[in-house]
Each structure stands twice: as C-alpha cells, then as structure tokens.
Amino acid sequence: MARVTLNVAGRPYDIAVRDGDEPRFTELARLVDDKAMQAARGMGGLTEGRQLLFAALLLADELDAARAAAAAPAPAPAPTLDPAALERLADRAEALAEQLEQARA
C-alpha cells in the first residue's frame, strides 16, 4: 500500500492507496480542490465542511450532466447525397412534370 498526501481546500490529507494509484488520486484531489476553491470564491465565508459540501455538489452536478448527455440518443447522421442518385431523381422529376403537362394539354 502506498501513501499519498492530497491537498484539498488548503489542507493536507494523508491517505493510503494501491501502489501505482498515487497519480490518479492526486489528479482527483486536484479536481476536488478546484471545486472547493470555486465554492469558496462564489459563496465566501464558508466553513471547511460547507466548502467541501459545495465542492461535492458542483462535482455531482457535472457528473449528472455527463451521465444525461451519455444517455441521450445520438443525433442521426445526416444522409449522404450521392450525386448520381440526385441526377436520377432530377431526371425522374422532370419526366413526371412533362407527363403532367401533357395530360393537361
């Protein structure tokens, strides 16, 4: 087991992690610290507990939005237009228009 010191909201936290997981937990702590600092700037005068609570809420909001985006169906891709197919459709439309004109006459 490895030990790592994480700095969040201006305080160090020593935790045990699996060997090799130190960089991952350091990065996660940086994300939490960024949100804690964002909460402190936005709310001002928060206790440490409330600062961390708001950091957790900000992260939970981002996670919820990411999950909703991942669950949303992807938009259908725009159909590709084959020039030859378009030419055939145009020819067919012209032929139908000619038939209609002849039927009127």
- What residue segments make up the domains of the chain, in order of their start? 2-71
| pLDDT at residue 17 in the model | 96
Tokens (6 digits) for 99:
């038939």
Cα distances (angstroms) measured from residue 100 to each of 69, 79, 86, 90, 96: 50, 30, 21, 15, 6
Residue 87 has pLDDT above 80, yes or no: yes
Q: How far is residue 4's CA from residue 7's CA, in Å, rounded to a whole number?
A: 10
Give the residue with greater pLDDT, 22 vs 100: 22
pTM for the model:
0.64
Q: How far is residue 29's CA from residue 78's CA, in Å, rounded to a whole number?
A: 41
Longest dimension (CA), the chain: 92
